[in-house]
Chain A
């Protein structure tokens, strides 16, 4: 069990080759040079009173409580701002120090509302009151009727925390946390002297309307409960905590779930968390209320037809219903008519079981996962060049980077905790290149500015990376020694000849990319010669018809410049979902068994055939879009979907709906009746991350523990439900605990050979490969050799996408996500995060808006050759003219009604980032949206219930569908 109040060492850890030995209270202490006296004392077990000091921010020396006596020094220096020195003799306790500290505490208490609680001992989370109690300050001699701040109005505008300035001692910990930890610089100390006040912006701003991003670092930093979680106000202080892992993005932050009984009071980011080092974002820290949302389905349900209402049944009846349908379909159409989709939100162990279910129980390799629509090109591209399908670095590597090349990623919104780490390094002097059609926050934000923003046209990534490579080679900036030592030189020579062709010069590619040649050459020079250069990328790279080519292009320039195989460099996918790396590792793709080993490999199949006791198919299975195509073609009949909502997340919704409607058995296992469930016949209640044991693997290959806090309302964790279904189908699946599943994964997968729950519990986390060679894991890959041996340069011809702007559809639409919402929004839409983002909107450049008569808030129709939807406009100079942008968090918007079926050539990852559209003002919802909303309740009703869904979530419906003429039912 984690501590509710972990030790705070007062000042940050320092690293130095020089060790310093001093004496504190008669005890000999040795610490790195640069360490504060305060930290040295606390590390050696000697407590030092403090209020303004915290080990995640630089010392400030304002509260005057950490005073110490130092032999040979006059006065009483603050231990937080005094560095250790060789031979120093320090006293932290004396009558004089006690007198001084008590005097300071008394002054603070004279303008603090909680003084009376010192007597009762009910000091809550207030460090001032705790110190008053510990120093036995029971009386305040100063007149409370004098000037004070006790009539201050509480700012309760933020949905998750309050600011009560009557409790504030203006120690500035919150301001420094916002500056140094989060990097937003939203808070300040306003006024002088007695009027000094913590402020979130201007006088007219409250926290909600300020620049604050609600990461909660200030709340965590506050020593006096001036900033306090609303939950703590309402429920009181937590009593115990359990360390677990966030279920939102691929950063995979460690949290201490702080509990009262079995109820979560608050989530506090764990200082020991190696991915987040005690920091969090608004989603992870605050937006977990969906786990208790009344929309949760807690009983299994079945229905004969998707037009019937759902019927609540027992688990036994649900299993019998599913088994009868699956067996009937298999008997009639064979195993190839069956398939499964694993979830990137579920644990490794659960994902492993679903692919095992498909392969060993259904008898098919028709299994896929949501990485199909996000980072499947990463797998293909990095495997082709480096030999393995994962990012090369740990997150901490960025602290050694001199240059960051951020391509098609928006870390401050999608990976905010890592973005804070990036910004910290940028403030220290690292240089930044951003490649993005949109001016993301990193391009210019407080104390951070991109040296180069290459604002390219959507769909031209490969032309751009080829031009970067061309510049590197043409100007002799490559690292020839690295290439000759580490790479396949024959492949390099072929690549070099290809890249140096005129067609790849910046001057030639500018016609496609829109990026001036000079700017591109400058960026290339910086990447090649600026020191340690690291590439970070996101879905703006992968979700293109040339997504895989672009990944290979980035790997090529990293190898050519020697930026691979050490801290500070590398090629790093910022993966979207909490366990999308893990779901890929676990064999979720239809052509691969766990550990990225092709299904055609008899030796690999032998391992699993022996372990699972069945004969495995040696042919690749269907990918998600292939399953849908096969369903509309009549050869795919049954789908088991765990924690995935393909009807909202996948492109061309009409086609997805037609495919689902053509199936005879769709089994949805989820926590909510999601959009895809409109087409399901069986619904199995799922579990949240608080309701299961297991592991998630984040974007840096870090395997973190998920720990069960309470039992799911449906009674079972997801792995137990899969196991129940397997047993009902007659397969002997009998795990007693997820650790046994991990043991099987380790037994059968070389890169996981050394992984176990015991090891993760002992080390906190471990990064794969974890095996005999790397028993405690691998932070940085390809150090001495590439996984494939020699690095392989791949040719990267630029092929413009078939999706082109034309006279009818003159704009290019690209999609993304926003800080407060998460993917299809099933979780965050059911939290107070809606306050920041209650609907999707269309961003467009002022010039595009003006010629169309569009203003901020105008309702606009966005039409592509696939369909049309309506949403509100937001005029923004973030956009480049000709490019518009929207998020896809709300089903009402149905952004994927307009996206196309064009996809990456190698992996079929959809081309979400390029859709030719026209935008026009309108005054009504689209035909699709109106029908959709008219029929949503009908398709999701449960016998005996009016509706199971809050009005903010919608679903489509259909009775009969064909691929060509499908439209929502009336």
Chain B
């Protein structure tokens, strides 16, 4: 998908979980993307975040870092 759409969708997830306390919100965003996004989409997000992540919600940026660290690990 194009980056604009990806950023919008990732940020929507963050907007939902941001209602929760920070630690739970972070885990919510990471867990949701890990559980529902196909690897190509996660890779696109990780790469986009790695290139600066313009427009990404802070919770998504954090999640992208975690996803990169745990690539290949179980959900």
Identify the A interface with B (CB < 8 A).
Answer: 336, 365-366, 498, 545, 549, 590-591, 598, 600, 602, 618-623, 625-626, 629-630, 633, 635, 795-797, 799, 802, 901, 903, 905-908, 963
| Cβ–Cβ < 8 Å partners of A635 in chain B | 40
Is B38 positioned at the interface, with any CB of A under 8 Å from its CB?
Answer: yes
Judge whether B52 is part of the interface by a CB distance below 8 angstroms: no
A626: chain B residues at CB < 8 Å are: 1, 38, 41
Count B interface residues, CB 8 Å: 22
Q: Considering the complex, give the chain B residue whose CB is closest to the CB of A495.
A: B19
The contact sample of 12 A-B pairs, CB cut-off 8 A, is: A336-B39, A336-B40, A600-B74, A622-B40, A626-B38, A629-B1, A629-B2, A630-B1, A630-B40, A797-B15, A901-B5, A906-B16
What is the CA–CA distance of A366 and B38 in the complex, to the nearest angstrom? 9
**Residue contact A799 to B75, C-beta cutoff 8 Å:** no
Q: Is B47 an interface residue (CB 8 A)?
A: no
> Judging by beta carbons under 8 Å apart, are B1 and A905 in contact?
no
A633-B39 CB under 8 A given contacts A797-B18, A905-B15, A906-B13: no
Partner of A619, one of B1, B2, B38: B38
Q: Which residues 30-73 of B sit at the A interface, judged by CB distance below 8 A?
A: 32, 35-41
If the complex has contacts A629-B1, A905-B9, are A619 and B39 also in contact, measured as CB distance less than 8 A? yes
Residue of A nearest to B10 (CB): A905
Known: A797-B15, A797-B19. A802 touches B35 (CB 8 A): no
CA–CA, A903 to B2, complex, Å? 15
**B39 surroundings in chain A (CB, below 8 A):** 336, 619
Which B residues are CB-close (under 8 A) to A630?
A: 1, 40
Q: Are A545 and B38 in contact (CB under 8 A)?
A: no
Closest CB in chain B relative to A731 CB, distance in Å = 23
Is B20 in contact with A795, judged by CB distance below 8 angstroms? yes
Mask, B1-14, CB within 8 Å of A = 1, is 11001001100110
Question: Which residues of A have CB within 8 Å of B74?
Answer: 600, 602, 618
B16 contacts which of A623, A799, A963 (Cβ < 8 Å)? A799
Which of B9, B15, B37 is in CB contact (< 8 Å) with A903? B9
Contact A620 B8 (CB under 8 A): no
Minimal beta-carbon separation of A314 from chain B (angstroms): 36
CA distance A498 to B17 in the complex (A): 13
Kindly report which residue of chain B lies nearest to residue A964, judged by CB atoms. B2
Cα A600 to Cα B20 in complex, Å, equals 25
Give, as a whole number of angstroms, the nearest-CB distance from A700 to chain B: 27
Interface centre among A549, A629, A908 (most CB of B within 10 A): A629
Q: List, in ascending order, chain A residues with CB within 8 A of B5's CB.
A: 629, 901
Cα–Cα, bound, A625→B8 (Å): 14
Which residues does chain B contribute within 8 Å of A498, judged by CB atoms? Answer: 19
Among A365, A620, A903, the residue within 8 A (CB) of B35 is A620
Bound: A694/B36 CA distance, A: 30
Cβ of A963 and Cβ of B75 under 8 Å apart? no
A55 and B66 CA atoms in complex are apart in Å by 65
Q: Which 10 A-B pairs have the closest CB atoms?
A: A905-B12, A629-B1, A797-B19, A600-B75, A795-B19, A622-B38, A799-B15, A619-B39, A905-B16, A905-B13
B1 to chain A, nearest CB (A): 4
Measured in the bound complex, the distance between the Cα atoms of B5 and A623 in whole Å is 15
Name the A residues within 8 Å of B18 (CB-CB).
797
